[in-house]
Every structure is written in C-alpha cells, then in structure tokens.
Structure 1
Amino acid sequence: MPSATSTQLPPSRLLVLTSNLYRAMDAARIAFAGTTVPIHQDHHLRESDYGHLNNCGKRSRSEH
C-alpha cells in the first residue's frame, strides 16, 4: 500500500481549500504559484474565538 505522501493525484482532482482570511489566501497563492491547482475560499474554515476556552484541552474545558 503506498503511503499518503507517495500517492499522486491527477491534477484535475487537486484543489486547495482555505479560509477567506487574507493571510490564508495569500499563503495558498504563494504555495501554489505557478500551478493550475484551483484555490477556493470558504468562510466556514475561519478560526473561531472561544474566549477563555481557546487552547484548552478536553480536561481543562470540563473544569471551566
């Protein structure tokens, strides 16, 4: 069985999904410059702010 890194997909099946934040789109454009891979943005991929629960593990969340 080939590893995930050695598997090659045909270019027609490649796609980059990114949030609609400028820095995410900019990084995708730089990373895939010179390719024909389409870059699609989706606002659902933006990070969320959960206040004091940010960066808490499962155990920490149950203590709040």
Structure 2
Amino acid sequence: MAVATAETSDILKIILAILLPLVGVFLEVGLGVPFVINVLLTILGYIPGIIHALYVILTR
C-alpha cells in the first residue's frame, strides 16, 4: 500500500496557504493564472482564497 508523503517544502506551503493564501500559491506556481485567480478569490473572501490555495498546492 502506498502512503502519500509530504515534503518539508509542501508543509511550509500549506501553512503559508492558510495564513497568506497568495504567498502559498506564488511559491507553487509563480505569477500565473492560478495566482491571479487566487488574488480575486482572496479579495472576494479570505476562506475561498485559502481553499483555492490548498487545492493548487495539493494537486501539483
């Protein structure tokens, strides 16, 4: 059975995604479309920004 492991950098990105969603997404993808989407979601509400940041980090 394979167990998913998270690297130290992933854990740091997840913590940053919860505290500062924009920084977490920026560290994962840079200044791309997901970053712009996260900026808009964070402006609309902090929680949607966090959810999107976690999605971006965990799916890459």
* TM-score exceeds 0.5: no
Q: Name the larger-Rg structure.
A: 1
The TM-score bracket by the shorter chain reads under 0.3
Higher percent of residues as helix: 2
